[in-house]
Chains A and B, each alone.
Chain A
């Protein structure tokens, strides 16, 4: 297992614990993500990987331990939490584009309302981002008029518009038709190449091999393996991981 000095970590989880009633979903999680690093979190469903991802910008509360972003411990509520969230981009499984806003407005809303950027400037930056993810010509439409893959790329642009320090992806391709998965993964791979710090929960092993610096394997609320993609896929250390990989690769 590779270890990292917590001091140079952009995202730091120390001894994080969480329960859903009786269920212990996160057990003493320690995870450190350095600037520019792409960490892919994989594991069977119910292993706590989504909860882990959502805890990083406190969409899930935690009961024990600390989570810090760029050296600052996540505040519990209020203004500081909102400010910190603005620095953490999040992409959801179900896109969650604002249904009553146009594609362009979806991307400009955060910069205008949260950061106080002038509308003309925000529009210009948003158009550049939409072009970059390949949906510039859809700008005046409403989310429901776009395909799932297009919506997810808009969601990525919306998160990028806040110029986040780190991007979280919570199963970004799980709700997509197979032929749309690649258009989203391509954008993510590009983002990884440009040096964005990313935490990606996914079932796309191809993406993990191609873009990840590290693969974190979770099962039953614990991090069981933490290795480079090469190490993890060719030589998994635990039976749990071997079992998981064999089930994936035989199909």
Chain B
């Protein structure tokens, strides 16, 4: 156990990196995912098609492939960045957006059709119906699945550790290599710090869920 206490600053540094990766990717994924869901229900066939293809490809391939693509293929296509962290954020948010799009879409489908009809009947256009009436109700019903996706994102960010990004798992690997006799303790420490992030998210989920529930 000493190995954890002795290396608390490293764990802390890793925790902050993981938090940073998750928050930035989470925000981008929420925005991108909502846009993809909007495209999926739009009257424009090309948008629907694009959204469907994107979601199906990203959520049906391993996250590692998204990472390889962002870290290795993108630079060859001319998209270069100074830090691997940028690649990690691109991969994580592109991958997570697909799941968020599916969750938001199911939320949109759960809003009764009459809500959209009433909105259209007072003269709202498609964008207004979606932004003012459908999405606000849809997002409230999908908060539990969205938080599940965000919890998965926090854990998925550990893949970045294998791509030269020093976050919680990356530091954990370093520590395990340096302390071959205490690997178990090192990894327990890593797990503990992940729990420190994910358990509050779960608690937040149930609190928010109760607060924003819409009575019908």
Q: Are A145 and B215 in contact (CB under 8 A)?
A: yes
Q: Are A144 and B120 in contact (CB under 8 A)?
A: no
Tell me the minimal C-beta distance from A91 to chain B in angstroms.
9
Tell me the minimal C-beta distance from A95 to chain B in angstroms.
8
Assembly CA distance A142 to B137 (angstroms): 13
Assembly CA distance A240 to B120 (angstroms): 36
Q: Is A97 an interface residue (CB 8 A)?
A: yes
A86: chain B residues within 8 A (beta carbon): 122-123
Q: Is B53 an interface residue (CB 8 A)?
A: no
Q: Is B119 an interface residue (CB 8 A)?
A: yes
How many A residues are at the interface, by size bracket? 20 to 34
Choose among B43, B123, B136 the residue that contacts A114 (Cβ–Cβ < 8 A).
Answer: B123
Interface residues of A in 64-106 (CB under 8 A from B): 77-79, 82-83, 85-90, 92, 94, 96-100
1/0 contact string of A137-179 vs chain B (CB within 8 Å): 0000010110000000001001100100000000000000000
Q: Are A98 and B118 in contact (CB under 8 A)?
A: yes
1/0 contact string of B109-136 vs chain A (CB within 8 Å): 0001011011111111100100011001
Q: Is A118 an interface residue (CB 8 A)?
A: no
Which residue on chain B has the smallest CB distance to residue A90?
B121
Q: Is A57 an interface residue (CB 8 A)?
A: yes
Choose among A87, A92, A113 the residue that contacts B114 (Cβ–Cβ < 8 A).
Answer: A92
Q: Are B114 and A110 in contact (CB under 8 A)?
A: no
Tell me the minimal C-beta distance from A5 to chain B in angstroms.
28
Choose among B125, B133, B140 the residue that contacts A98 (Cβ–Cβ < 8 A).
Answer: B133
Tell me the minimal C-beta distance from B31 to chain A in angstroms.
21
B132: chain A residues within 8 A (beta carbon): 109, 113
Q: Is A59 an interface residue (CB 8 A)?
A: yes
User: Known interface pairs A99-B215, A114-B128, A144-B216. Does A94 touch B114 (Cβ–Cβ under 8 Å)?
Assistant: yes
Q: Is B77 an interface residue (CB 8 A)?
A: no
1/0 contact string of B133-154 vs chain A (CB within 8 Å): 1001100100000000000000
User: Known interface pairs A113-B128, A114-B128. Does A97 touch B118 (Cβ–Cβ under 8 Å)?
Assistant: yes
Which residue on chain B has the smallest CB distance to residue A78?
B125
Tell me the minimal C-beta distance from B127 to chain A in angstroms.
10
1/0 contact string of A42-80 vs chain B (CB within 8 Å): 000000000000000101000000000000000001110
Give me 18 A-to-B residue pairs in the complex whose CB atoms sit less than 8 angstroms apart, sorted by A's number.
A59-B120, A59-B121, A78-B125, A79-B125, A82-B124, A85-B120, A85-B123, A87-B123, A89-B122, A90-B121, A97-B118, A98-B133, A99-B137, A99-B214, A100-B137, A113-B128, A142-B215, A158-B122
Given contacts A85-B123, A92-B114, A162-B123, 13 further A-B contacts (CB under 8 A): A82-B124, A85-B122, A89-B121, A90-B118, A94-B112, A98-B119, A100-B140, A109-B122, A110-B122, A113-B132, A114-B122, A144-B214, A144-B215
